[in-house]
Structure formats: C-alpha cells, structure tokens
Structure 1
C-alpha cells in the first residue's frame, strides 16, 4: 500500500510538472544541475574516473569542462523525460527527427523486422515516438529489464508505451518475439545495450573507450535467431529539446557474421558517437565494475 501511494504521488507530481512549458522546465533543470554537481556531488567520483580513464589524452581542464556539461545534460534529460508524459506525437516528431528512414523501413518490409542498437546517449528515451514513421500495423518493441519497484516499473512502462510501443520484459524476449512473428506482425526491436551487464548477461569482452569492457550480446543473438537486419541508432543532440537520430546499417545478414562481430560493431559505433560530443553519454553509470579476469566467476 505504501508503494502504491508513493506511485500515485510521484505520478501526479510528474504529471503536473509535464504541464509546464519547456522554458520553465529548463529553469528547473539549471537549478537541478547545480544541486547535482555543486551541492550533492551526485556520483562525481564515478563521472570523473570514467572520463579520465576514457580520455587519457585530455587535460584536467578539458575533463572538467565535459563533466560540467554532462551534469547540465543529465538534468535536461530528467525534465525532458517528464515532459514526454504530455507531449503529442506531432510535438515529439518536431523534436526528434529521423534520418535514413528508407533503410529502416525497407528492412522491416523485406525481412519482417529489424534489431535496433541504442546507446544511452542524448535523449534516447524520445525514440519511443518511432512508431509514427513506421507503416501502420508495424510494431515498435522495446526490450527492458523491469525495475524492482513494481509501481515505478508501471510508471516507466506508461511513459514508454504512450506512442504505441510494446514493452517486453527481458526474460520474455524470445517467447514474445516468436509469437509476434508467428502472428505476422512486422517489428522494430530496440535494445539499450551499453550498460554494465550482470554476470549472466556479460558475454563479450572488447576494448571500449580505452578500457577492457564487457558487453551483453543479447541483441546479436536475437538478430541471428529472428534473422533480422541490425541497425545502429546514431543519436545527436542538436540543442536543448531537439535531437536527431540516423539509422546506420550494421548488417543485413546477421547469421553470416562471426560470433561477437555485431557486438563489436556496436561498441565501435558508440565510440564514434561519444567522441563527437562526449558530454551526452551516461557517465554516471558504473560501466566498468566488472574486470576481465573475473569473467568466468
């Protein structure tokens, strides 16, 4: 009951905040970024360590500049995530534009679906509006790991399904995708796969941002099982409240690739995106907790 009441209060508060215009929300974001960075010091040690290890050639002043910009970005991300509770499809499409759409739509039409590799970059959550550029009847599917609190999990499911998206729990992925395909539904399967994986999900090691890094290879395994082409979602933050995403082909024939090849390509694409503008990735994630020597534990 306590969690249910808390969910109702949080939902109501977020709903009221979402009624505010963007310019007001960005004033709140400015205050929030100051509190996170200067007052609370939210994961500053993690952010500083991640940046320093990822960019050993950058000076301390350069690292601090990226760091400050990151905290402004993460506060913007938070208020923009809330605002999506009240945005219309039309408004969202004005703020999240899609490039190289023909590749995306042709792959869905020809192969019955695609696997989308999505990084924690810019406002990746706004990709949920993708259904608007898809053919009527085709389905945007998001694979996600449920939150421990069922009510907050319900809140994020509400936000992520507002525009017709279908959320599939990670442990139900194979069953649900096979069912959708059997029912003749064409789909775009999105996976945000650049977070620190659990020991059960940690399967592919590579050098990423100058460090030994383990990746989940779930997207690769899904693509091979479903025989879906793989596209990388190259995100770019244009300015506050505006983002663009370009579809980039990884492979149209996943079964013909070697084990790890798709996951390696994902890592290289993310690096290119991050190096273009480093501040807009989730540096506060504890991305490098696992060490290569522990991979068999």
Structure 2
C-alpha cells in the first residue's frame, strides 16, 4: 500500500510538471541550478576531483566554467526527463535530429543485431527517440539498473517508455538478447557503458581521461555471442533542449586482443567529452576504485 501511495504521489507530481511548456520548465531548471550548485553544492567535491584529474592542463577558471556548465545541464536533464511524460512526437522531431540511421538499417537487414554504445552525456534519457529514425529494427531495447525505491523505479520505467523501448534489467540482459537472437528477432539494444567498474570483479583497464580506468566488457561479450554489430551514438547539444545524435561505426584498429570494440568506444566517448566537457555526468564516482 505504501508503495502504491508513493507511486501515486510521484506520478501526480511528475505528471503536473510535465504539462508545463518548455520555457517554464527551464525557468524551474534555473532555480534548481541555484539550489544544486550554490545551495546544497551537490557532490561538488567529487565533481572537482574528477575534473582536476581528467584535465590537469586546464586552469582553475576553465575547470570552474566546466563545473558551471555541468550543473546547468544536470538540472536541464531533470526537467527534460519529466517532460517525457507529455512530450509530443512533433516536439521530439523538432528538438531531436539524427544522422546515420541508415547504418543501423543496413546491419539489421544483413542479419545482425545492433549493440549501440553511448555515455552519460548531454540528455541520455531522450536517446530512445532515435528509434523514430530507423526502419529495419522490430524493436529497440535499453538496459537499465532497477532503483531501490520500487515506486520511483516504476515511475522511471513509465517515463522511459515514451518511445516504446523494451526495458531490460541488467541481470536479464544476456538471457534476453540470446533468446531474441535465437528467435531471429531484428533488434537494437543500447548500452550506457561509462559506469563505475569495480576493480574487485573487473580485470579490464584502459586509459580514459588521463586516468587508468577499469571497465566492464559485458556488452561486447554478449554482442560476440549473438554476432552483433557495434555502433556508437555521438551526441551534440545544438541549443537548450535541442540535440543532434549521430550514429557512427566502431572500427578498432584490430579486432584481436582484449575487448577491442569497448576500448574503441571509450576513445570515441572521450573525444565527445573533450569537445564540450560540461555535458558529461561528472558527479558519478567513475574512479572510486584505484
């Protein structure tokens, strides 16, 4: 009963806010920015440590500008995610443009499922809208980590269902993808693969943003089992609430060795981050394990 009540409260609050036009939502975002950046100073210590270690060549002023850009994007992400509950197709097409969709269609038509890599960059919650720019896949799947708060988890699944993706819990990914492949289904699955990786369980490491970084090759290991093609989604912010997504092929110099596609993906993600660093999620503890 408590869970149902919490969900009703969450759904009511998010639903009401999602009805607001974008200018009012961005006004709310500006207020949230003052609270998060100037008031509670949300994870400021983590953010500053990550920035200093990632960009030792930048001045203190440059790092502070990146930090400011991060907080603005962070609060924009909050209101833009809420807006998904009442975001029309027309609004989505106006604010989200995509190039490279034909690459996905080509691989699908050639009999390959597609593993699409992306990072916590700009607004990743709007990424499922790319399915409107593909023709060949039967469906799009997204991998997610269930929230501890079951009522909020239920709400986020509702929000993330805006463009009808199949949401797959992390622990069920391998079984689901292998089953779909055996059933000869035509699908694309998105992996956000820049989470913290635990050195106690991950023996895969690379240099990422000037730091030795553990990573999980799970997406590639599963992809190899289902003969998948590996693609990367490059993201550009073209204006407030406007994004351009570009689908790119992941082409490692060699397919031999340890996780070549994952390593190349991380190189491509780093290039994206360096283009405009403030849009990445600096508040997560990517390098907790040294």
User: Do the two structures share a fold, i.e. TM-score over 0.5?
Assistant: yes
CA distance 1:202–1:85, shift in 2 (3 Å): farther
CA distance in 2, matches of 1:250, 1:257: 14
CA contact (8 A) 2:35 2:41 kept: yes
Alignment of 1:3-82 (within 5 A): 3-82=3-82
CA RMSD of aligned residues (A): 1.7
Which residue of the partner structure matches residue 124 of structure 1? 124
CA distance in 2, matches of 1:223, 1:141: 14
CA contact (8 A) 2:17 2:83 kept: yes
CA distance in 2, matches of 1:271, 1:242: 21
Q: Does 1:227 align with 2:227?
A: yes
User: Secondary structure at the residue paired with 2:174?
Assistant: helix
CA distance in 1, matches of 2:169, 2:131: 19
CA contact (8 A) 1:205 1:214 kept: yes
CA contact (8 A) 1:46 1:284 kept: yes
How far apart are 1:107 and its partner, in Å?
Answer: 1.2
Q: With structure 2 as the length reference, what TM-score do the two structures score? A: 0.95
CA distance 1:115–1:137, shift in 2 (3 Å): closer
CA distance in 1, matches of 2:87, 2:30: 21
CA contact (8 A) 1:112 1:185 kept: no
Alignment length (residue pairs): 289
User: Secondary structure at the residue paired with 1:246?
Assistant: strand
CA contact (8 A) 1:233 1:248 kept: yes
Aligned structure 1 segments of 4 or more residues deviating by more than 6 angstroms: none
CA distance 1:285–1:95, shift in 2 (3 Å): same
CA distance 1:201–1:223, shift in 2 (3 Å): farther
Q: With structure 1 as the length reference, what TM-score do the two structures score? A: 0.93
Measured against aligned partners, the alpha-carbon deviations of 1:144-202 in whole angstroms (never above 9, x if no partner) come to 12112222111111111221200111111122112222333201110101011245763
Which residue of the partner structure matches residue 144 of structure 2? 144
- Once structures 1 and 2 are overlaid, which stretch shifts more, 91-100 or 278-287? 91-100
CA distance in 2, matches of 1:215, 1:64: 28
Structure 1: tracts of 5 or more residues without a match = 292-297
User: Secondary structure at the residue paired with 2:85?
Assistant: coil
Which residue of the partner structure matches residue 107 of structure 1? 107
Q: Does 1:265 align with 2:264?
A: yes
Measured against aligned partners, the alpha-carbon deviations of 1:260-283 in whole angstroms (never above 9, x if no partner) come to 211111110111001000000000
Structure 2: tracts of 5 or more residues without a match = none
CA distance in 2, matches of 1:79, 1:182: 40
CA contact (8 A) 1:18 1:82 kept: yes
CA distance in 2, matches of 1:51, 1:288: 11
User: Secondary structure at the residue paired with 1:84?
Assistant: helix
Which residue of the partner structure matches residue 165 of structure 1? 165
CA distance in 2, matches of 1:20, 1:13: 12
